[in-house]
Amino acid sequence: MNFSISQAKPEDTPGLVGLLNAVTERLHQRAIHQWNDPWKADAIEADIVRNSVFLLWEPERIIGTYSFKTLESNPWRSKNRSQSLYLYRIALHPDYQGKAIGKKLVFHALAMGRRQRMEVWLDCWAGNEKLKQFYRAAGFLHAGDFPEEDYRISVFYFPLPSSARVPASPKDS
């Protein structure tokens, strides 16, 4: 399989919204309440315009995505030592899940954090044990579970002080 990762462009919005809706539908079928649907194109496009959305492509099709933003203050850290990157809206099309392809997205994001010398933080619905296991296997540390409206989230971080090693590709893990 031949994959590439690129920064999203506004014209990618419809394909990205379709991907997110497909992933959300599959989550709901599995009783995982990570996201609500349908996704709003204007919110997605606003992130694209801010250059914070990346896409994983199989030659002519968007099959994965992630977004990031800088956290000036981190709500999960007791002492805010420095800025952090918040990785969110990570999605991989259901047809490609379970094949170690999602690691490509995560490692791309971790490399960005390493280049910017920032920790990378993310969260997920606390009831999604499979996803929590995936994050741990990718090298993230569990920061804890926290209340969020009417459910709990599990928060993870990847520390990037000088000794942290980020694999260059899924083959390195």
Tokens of 81: 């030592």
Domain 4-172: which CATH number of 2.10.50.10, 3.40.630.30, 3.30.365.10, 3.40.30.10: 3.40.630.30
Task: Evaluate if residue 169 carries a pLDDT over 50.
Answer: no
What pLDDT score does 18 carry? Answer: 95
Summary mean pLDDT of the chain? 87
Looking at this protein, which amino acid is placed at residue 37? D
CA distance 95 to 63: 9
Q: How far apart are CA 24 and CA 34, in angstroms?
A: 8
pLDDT greater than 90 at residue 78: no
- Backbone phi, psi, residue 44, to 5°: -65, -45
pLDDT score at 173:
40
| pLDDT at residue 163, as a whole number | 47
Domains of the chain by residue range? 4-172
Q: Tell whether the model's pLDDT for residue 93 goes beyond 90.
A: yes
Closest by CA position to 90, among listed 38, 117, 53: 53
Q: What percent of the chain has pLDDT over 70?
A: 87
Q: What would the pLDDT profile of 103-157 be if each residue is shown by its tens digit?
A: 888 999 999 888 888 889 999 999 899 899 999 999 999 999 999 888 899 999 9
pTM (predicted TM-score):
0.85
Range of weakest confidence among 13-22, 57-66, 78-87, 129-138: 78-87
pLDDT at 150 (0 to 100): 83
Supply the angle between the helices 13-29 and 41-49 in degrees, to the nearest 10: 120
